[in-house]
Structure 1
Amino acid sequence: MVQGAVLVAGTTSDAGKSAVVAGVCRWLHRRGVSVAPFKAQNMSNNSVVTPDGGEIGRAQAMQAFASGIAPSVDLNPVLLKPGGDRTSQVVVRGRADGQVSALSYRHRTAALSDVVADSLARLRARHDVVVCEGAGSPAEINLRATDLANMGFARRNDLPVLVVGDIDRGGVLAHLFGTLAVLDPADQALVAGFVINKFRGDPRLLEPGLDRLRELTGRPTLGVLPFAEGLWLDAEDSLSAVADGVLGHPAPPRGGQWLRVAVVRFPRISNATDAEALACEPGVAVRYVTEPSRIADTDVVVLPGTKATVSDLAWLRASGMADAVRAHAGSGRPVLGICGGYQMLGHTVSDPDGAEAAPGTTVAGLGLLDLEIAFDPVKHLATPTATAWGETVTGYEIHHGRVVRSGDPGLIGDEGSDRGHVLGTHWHGLAENDGFRRLLLTRLAGEAGRTGFVVAQDTSFAAERSRQVDLLADLVEHHLDTSSLEHVIGHGAPPGLPVLTSGLAASPA
């Protein structure tokens, strides 16, 4: 049985690191190997609450699902949540721990390196294999001295590295060669090989390039993963899976009409994956929108979560979207708000202590719900279970804002607001509950006047998620050299690999 660890790095962000890690984890899990994913440092506003009460990147929760284990804070010990162009909230082992700028964060990485090492050690003690994911690209040598997640992490933990390149962007052979070439010799020694992702066409056309890449670098390409249309759930950046604004691949309606859903794409949108459960349903077309005309002909408007409620509410007004949302609701068509989007639907949003905005800020909301929101300095994290519309539902909460007054009936017991065609909740993941989602879509279609829309009774969101991670595992099994992959995991990078001369000074260990 294979034992060990590997780091999957990428030539760029969105090269496919998260998908490759998930696929390798699922492939190993299907073979009976105890495996866990790991990302030392993530930067994402898509997060979940774990059973142990902390907050981690959603991609790591998806990878945990692929591995057959419960997500925990050890899977992603450092999470950066951007709240502006230059600042991020730091989440350490699941708990918010201050704000940083790109420059000030460098002063924290030495201490955070110990946190990362401790989490990795715990995972390696509990599992046969840990499949680690890098962040961004290891070629960002300007950040090498304080690196937590790429070659600095690999060096500190003596991990072999596979570099993934996205051929769909073009120039992948240069990306792979260049990524290796800019690393110093000690870092290069850990790079065991390459993986090419999202290939379309006949692999034989690529073979001469791969042969030459091996001649130049001394490293093999362990496989070429073909482009797969059916992969879009739980993307690290869910918007990267959107083609022409449409989420997923909507199946034809069961009845005579489509239900058209517009999700407002805030500048600091968070947990955009809430819309994915709706997009899995036949006849439901979910589209991200950023300008008012895209709301005019839609049936349902969704205001999703945001990491910056006050500033995104200001954007909503400045862009004309606020007036479009109010007009939509004024015509009796449904609006659904989730977390930050729910908070915007009320009368006021205040931030007395500066949890997200300037201390003492109070702004007017859209006034579509009888609701007042105030922000607490301590973030609320929870994984609640309740009954809604006769269905048992689960979800998770991640928010600073709390309801200080509400005059509307609750959506889930006392939680949330239900004013007929305008609904809101702080719960994420609510639509992943199949029974509740069917009732919700029936309600939304009725409020929108879509009497010909028929809600499917056989859609399982959990089954669709399983299908997609199994598809990733199939790609790994059939298109990677899994024997070589196992050898790298168990034995590390081969000794004596060639060093490409770059003229760079040695990087710190």
Structure 2
Amino acid sequence: MPVTPHGALLVAGTTSDAGKSALVAGLCRSLHRRGISVAPFKAQNMSNNSMVTPDGGEIGRAQAMQAHACGLTPSVDLNPVLLKPGSDRTSQVVVRGRADGQVSALSYRTRTGALKEVVVDALTRLRSRYDVVVCEGAGSPAEINLRATDLANMGLAEAADLPVVVVGDIDRGGVLAHLFGTVAVLSPSDQARIAGFVINKFRGDPALLAPGLDQLRALTGRPTFGVVPWSDRLWLDAEDSLSAVADGVLGRPGPPLGDQWLRVAVVRLPRISNATDAEALACEPGVAVRYVTEPSRLLDADVVLLPGSKATVSDLAWLRDSGLADGVLAHAAAGKPVLGICGGYQMLGRRITDEGVEFTGSVDGLGLLDLEIVFDPEKHLGTPTGTALGEPVTGYEIHHGRVVRSGDPGLVGDEGSDRGNVLGTHWHGLLENDSFRRVLLGRLADLAGRTGFAVAPDTSFAAERTAQLDVLADLVDGHLDIRALDHVISHGPDPDLPVVASGLAESRR
């Protein structure tokens, strides 16, 4: 075996969305394909894309995807601390899969001492069970103002004695400065853990980049383990970021099997959660899925999808203020289909009442479903199974809102709502059920008048997700120095790495 059992690596990034999640997934998949038992780990994630594990807890969606890359069932140990932003200033804290209060950026720092024990315990358990654990950092280790209370970057590397690889996104520009600067601002002891670099999303001639990599090594004493090229095949399971949910077509839709497209508009709510629910639709030939943020984008849509939200009531107010609510109502009045998931489902009802989870009071919903919602202080988590539109389905639930009255037929057994052209459910992941999705697409196309749209008989969402993970592993195997990374995982960084001179590189504790 090329790696020593119980080895580990931390993948840090120069910025958010530098490619940490993808690189961890690719490394995990590569190790798994070589027969090495491997697990992913993210000590602290900040994301409203989450899922429910079979052991009943809530973790970041990216860690569930990385678990799939390893051939593992997701568990709360993979992501022991999850922050779910409900506003620009506050987040819900999820500890070992369960909601544990609200924090601001400042108040959270008072909790990090206790949370570090939770994080280190989870990582210790994983390292005892697997040959390798590939850890993902959060944000950037260069956020030295947060170093004293850091749980996910150099603080984790110090606590668990981890070697670190720093990944930078060259597509943003300035990647060499980002990599150099990330090392230079760290204390000497933190610098000693930085084994080298990976450059991500490269387009162009590698010969033009090579002199820069040589100079980067001369300046830092650290190698670049490889340059991963840009791939337009990678779009599933994107982490929360502006690029992941900006206006634009989701994925790379294949041409329709019939002579018409089915156009789906997903409203990009300010606090959108589980935006990945729409990805299963985007895997279908002839289904064009687009995120929208203003009313004119609804005019040529065949289907409108209201996704989940971490701040349902304030996002409902934004929906009205933006004019999108009128667009959704007009779409439904024309007999065209509207689908709501979780928070979007709650918005479609008649009334939402809350006694302190998001606000205190009651607000009117859009009134498209005969539904009343009350927010419970306790979050409901579940991994239910059932039947929808005559097909067996599974899914997962993450919500405070509880249906207290419904006059509509159920969509999933007695759950959810099916009012003809307006449908809703609390179940995330419902669209990942292939047979259900095919029946639903046929119904949506009929309601939209797209008689020339043909539903593909054999699209497998699970197979498409696995194929993308294999693309990531192929990129890792083809463009990174795997032998060198194996050595870092097993033996740590070169002990003779130099300290990069900087006025900021002082010891900070």
TM-score range (shorter-chain normalised) is over 0.9
SS class of match (1:206): helix
Tell me the alpha carbon deviations over residues 112-156 of structure 1, each in whole angstroms, 9 at most, x when there is no partner. Answer: 000000000010011000000000000000111100000111011
| 1:367 aligns to 2:370 (yes or no) | no
- Trace 1:341-356 onto structure 2 (pairs within 5 A): 341-352=344-355, 354-355=356-357
* TM-score between the two structures when normalised by the length of structure 2: 0.98
| 1:381 aligns to 2:384 (yes or no) | no
For structure 1, which segment, 244-253 or 223-232, has the greater mean C-alpha deviation from structure 2 after superposition? 244-253
SS class of match (2:277): helix
- Trace 1:41-440 onto structure 2 (pairs within 5 A): 41-237=44-240, 240-241=243-244, 245-352=248-355, 354-355=356-357, 357-359=358-360, 361-440=361-440
Tell me the alpha carbon deviations over residues 393-432 of structure 1, each in whole angstroms, 9 at most, x when there is no partner. Answer: 1000000001000000000111000000000000000010
Any conservation in 1 of the 2:192–2:499 contact (CA below 8 Å)?
yes
Any conservation in 1 of the 2:245–2:268 contact (CA below 8 Å)?
no
Deviation at 1:208, TM superposition (A): 0.6
Any conservation in 1 of the 2:246–2:291 contact (CA below 8 Å)?
no
Could you tell me the percent identity over the aligned residues? 79
Output the CA distance in 2 between the equivalents of 1:457 and 1:238. Answer: 33
- Trace 1:8-23 onto structure 2 (pairs within 5 A): 8-23=11-26
In structure 1, the partner of 2:444 is 444
SS class of match (1:495): coil
Aligned length in residues: 505
Output the CA distance in 1 between the equivalents of 2:211 and 2:91. Answer: 44
Output the CA distance in 2 between the equivalents of 1:463 and 1:239. Answer: 27
Any conservation in 2 of the 1:8–1:131 contact (CA below 8 Å)?
yes
Which structure 2 residue ranges, 5 or more long, are not aligned?
none
* TM-score between the two structures when normalised by the length of structure 1: 0.98
Any conservation in 1 of the 2:415–2:425 contact (CA below 8 Å)?
yes
Q: Read off the aligned partner of 1:438 and give its amino acid letter.
A: R
SS class of match (2:248): coil
In structure 2, the partner of 1:507 is 508
Q: Read off the aligned partner of 2:122 and give its amino acid letter.
A: S
SS class of match (2:473): helix
Deviation at 1:73, TM superposition (A): 0.3
Q: Read off the aligned partner of 2:123 and give its amino acid letter.
A: L
Q: Read off the aligned partner of 1:13 and give its amino acid letter.
A: S
Any conservation in 2 of the 1:238–1:273 contact (CA below 8 Å)?
no
SS class of match (1:117): helix
Which structure 1 residue ranges, 5 or more long, are not aligned?
none
Deviation at 1:202, TM superposition (A): 1.5
Deviation at 1:241, TM superposition (A): 3.9
Output the CA distance in 2 between the equivalents of 1:7 and 1:168. Answer: 22
Tell me the alpha carbon deviations over residues 291-329 of structure 1, each in whole angstroms, 9 at most, x when there is no partner. Answer: 111111110000000000000000001111111100100
Output the CA distance in 2 between the equivalents of 1:415 and 1:244. Answer: 31
Any conservation in 1 of the 2:304–2:328 contact (CA below 8 Å)?
yes
Output the CA distance in 2 between the equivalents of 1:467 and 1:119. Answer: 29
Q: Read off the aligned partner of 1:21 and give its amino acid letter.
A: V
Any conservation in 2 of the 1:238–1:272 contact (CA below 8 Å)?
no
Deviation at 1:239, TM superposition (A): 5.3
Name the CA shift for 1:238/1:382 in 2 (closer, same or farther; >3 Å). farther
Output the CA distance in 1 between the equivalents of 2:242 and 2:187. Answer: 34
Output the CA distance in 1 between the equivalents of 2:240 and 2:188. Answer: 32
SS class of match (1:13): coil
Q: Read off the aligned partner of 2:74 and give its amino acid letter.
A: P
Q: Read off the aligned partner of 1:80 and give its amino acid letter.
A: L
Output the CA distance in 2 between the equivalents of 1:285 and 1:99. Answer: 37
Alpha carbon RMSD of aligned pairs, Å? 0.9
| 1:472 aligns to 2:472 (yes or no) | yes
Output the CA distance in 2 between the equivalents of 1:29 and 1:240. Answer: 29
Deviation at 1:242, TM superposition (A): 5.8
Deviation at 1:390, TM superposition (A): 2.1
SS class of match (2:249): coil
SS class of match (1:103): helix
Any conservation in 2 of the 1:184–1:502 contact (CA below 8 Å)?
no
